[in-house]
C-alpha cells in the first residue's frame, strides 16, 4: 500500500506541518481549550467514494481531526459521514457548529492539555477553569466526555504528592461534571517514543495504566473514567486484550493507531486490530472508538476508510 503521502514523517519534519503537529496542536486542539481557536478553512473536497464502509455498527467510530490537517473540519466530516463514521474530536470548537449541522457528533471535547496538568498545584486554577469551560461546550454540543491529563513530572513533587494533587483538583471539578452529566476521561500516554511530538510524551506522569486506575478509583465518581489509547498502551504495556479485560469497566473512550510509528492500521504495524476491537465489543462497551493515526498513505482518506472497515467487526 502507498506509504509516501503528504503526511509521512519526512514531510512532517521538513515542512511547517511539523510545527503544527507539535506544541500548537497540543495546546489548541488536542488537550487545550479550543474555544478561541480559529476555524480551519471550510473548503470542501468531495469524497471519492460514497459507499459506507461501516455496516455492522457494533462499535461507534469517531475520528481525531488534528491527524488529518490541513484538511478542513468540514471536508473531513463529509468524508466521515460517507464512510459511516459518526463522531469527530480534536478540532477547534469554532468548527463545532458547522460539523454538527452536517450531522456529525462531537465525541470528545479538549481541555487543558497534557503538559499543564493537576499534578502541579500551581496549575489547579488553570486546569479547573479549562475543564469547566470544556464541560459547558460538551453540554452545548451533546458530547459525552471531556479529556483530562495528569501533567508532566515535576522536580520536588513526589509520587504521593502528585496523586494527592491530581485527585484534589479533579474532585473539585467532578460535582460540576456530574451535575451536567458529562464524563471526564483521563488519558494514558506513552513516554517511550521521542521521535515526534505527537508519537510519544517523555516526562508525562500518567504513563502507567495501574497508576491511572488508582487515580480514577481515588476520585471515586462514575463520571471519571479512563481513556484507553490502544497505541499508547501497546507501547507501555502490550498485552492489549488482557488489559482491556482488566480495565474495561472504567473505560470511557478508546483511541487507535498503528504501532510502531502511529500510522495506519495496516499490515506494516504489529497490532491485530480486529481481535482487539472484538474484545472491546464483547465487554459491552457503548462509547466511541476514535481513529487517531497520523496518515502516511498517498490518500489519507483511503487510510481512514481502511481503518474504519477494519474496526467494523
160-204 tens-digit pLDDT: 999 999 999 999 999 999 999 999 999 999 999 999 999 999 999
pLDDT of residue 310: 98
The model's pLDDT over 206-220, given as tens digits with 9 standing for 90+, comes to: 999 999 999 999 999
pLDDT of residue 47: 58
Please tell me which residue, 96 or 24, carries the higher pLDDT value. 96
Does residue 41 carry a pLDDT above 60?
no
Determine the average pLDDT of the residues in 257-265. 98
pLDDT of residue 30: 53
CB 73 within 8 A of CB 92: yes
pLDDT of residue 57: 96
Does residue 73 carry a pLDDT above 80?
yes
The model's pLDDT over 227-246, given as tens digits with 9 standing for 90+, comes to: 999 999 999 999 999 999 99
Is cis: bond before 70, omega within 30 of 0?
Answer: yes
| Angle, in degrees to the nearest 10, between helices 159-179 and 124-141 | 30
Exposed, middle or buried: residue 296 (CB in 10 Å: 0-12, 13-18, 19+)?
A: buried
Among 32-41, 133-142, 153-162, 256-265, the range scoring the smallest mean pLDDT is: 32-41
Q: Cell numbers at residue 48, please?
A: 471519492
Torsion angle of C-alpha atoms 203, 207, 212, 215, degrees rounded to 10: -20
CB 235 within 8 A of CB 229: no
Determine the average pLDDT of the residues in 245-253. 98
**Mean pLDDT value across the chain:** 89
Element (H, E) at 251: strand 251-256
Cα 96 versus chain centre, distance: 16
Q: How far from 156 is each of 98, 168, 206, CA to CA, in Å?
A: 45, 18, 17
Sheet strand arrangement including 87-89: 105-108, 87-89, 60-64, 288-291, 251-256, 224-229, 183-187, 145-148
pLDDT of residue 63: 98
Among candidate residues 146, 43, 44, 139, the one with its CA nearest the CA of residue 90: 146
Q: Are strands 60-64 and 288-291 parallel, antiparallel or unpaired?
A: parallel
pLDDT of residue 51: 82
pLDDT of residue 29: 45
Does residue 9 carry a pLDDT above 90?
no
pLDDT of residue 26: 43
Does residue 154 carry a pLDDT above 70?
yes
Amino acid at each position: 500500500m502507498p506509504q509516501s503521502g503528504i503526511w509521512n514523517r519526512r514531510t512532517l519534519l521538513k515542512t511547517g506541518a511539523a510545527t503544527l503537529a507539535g506544541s500548537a496542536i497540543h495546546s489548541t486542539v488536542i488537550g487545550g481549550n479550543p474555544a478561541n481557536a480559529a476555524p480551519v478553512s471550510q473548503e470542501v473536497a468531495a469524497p471519492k467514494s460514497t459507499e459506507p464502509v461501516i455496516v455492522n455498527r457494533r462499535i461507534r467510530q469517531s475520528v481525531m481531526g488534528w491527524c488529518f490537517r490541513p484538511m478542513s473540519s468540514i471536508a473531513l466530516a463529509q468524508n466521515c459521514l460517507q464512510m459511516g463514521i459518526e463522531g469527530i474530536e480534536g478540532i477547534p470548537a469554532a468548527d463545532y457548529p458547522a460539523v454538527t449541522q452536517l450531522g456529525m457528533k462531537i465525541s470528545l471535547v479538549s481541555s487543558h492539555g497534557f503538559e499543564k496538568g493537576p499534578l502541579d498545584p500551581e496549575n489547579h486554577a488553570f486546569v479547573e477553569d479549562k475543564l469547566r469551560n470544556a464541560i459547558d461546550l460538551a453540554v452545548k454540543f451533546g458530547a459525552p466526555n471531556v479529556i483530562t491529563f495528569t501533567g508532566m513530572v515535576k522536580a520536588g513533587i513526589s509520587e504521593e504528592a502528585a496523586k494527592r494533587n491530581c485527585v484534589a483538583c479533579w474532585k473539585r471539578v467532578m460535582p460540576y461534571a456530574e451535575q451536567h452529566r458529562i464524563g471526564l476521561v483521563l488519558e494514558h500516554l506513552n513516554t517511550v517514543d521521542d521521535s515526534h511530538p505527537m508519537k510519544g510524551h517523555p516526562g508525562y506522569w500518567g504513563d502507567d495504566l495501574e497508576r491511572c486506575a488508582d487515580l480514577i478509583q481515588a476520585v471515586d465518581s462514575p463520571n471519571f473514567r479512563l481513556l484507553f489509547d490502544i497505541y499508547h498502551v501497546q507501547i507501555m504495556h502490550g498485552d492489549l486484550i488482557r488489559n482491556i479485560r482488566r480495565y474495561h469497566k472504567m473505560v470511557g473512550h478508546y483511541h487507535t493507531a498503528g504501532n510502531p510509528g502511529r500510522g495506519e492500521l495496516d499490515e506494516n504495524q504489529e497490532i491485530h486490530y480486529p481481535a482487539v476491537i472484538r474484545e472491546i465489543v464483547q465487554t459491552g462497551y457503548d462509547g466511541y472508538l476514535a481513529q487517531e493515526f497520523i496518515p502516511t498513505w498517498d490518500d489519507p482518506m483511503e487510510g481512514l476508510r481502511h481503518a474504519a472497515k477494519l474496526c467494523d467487526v
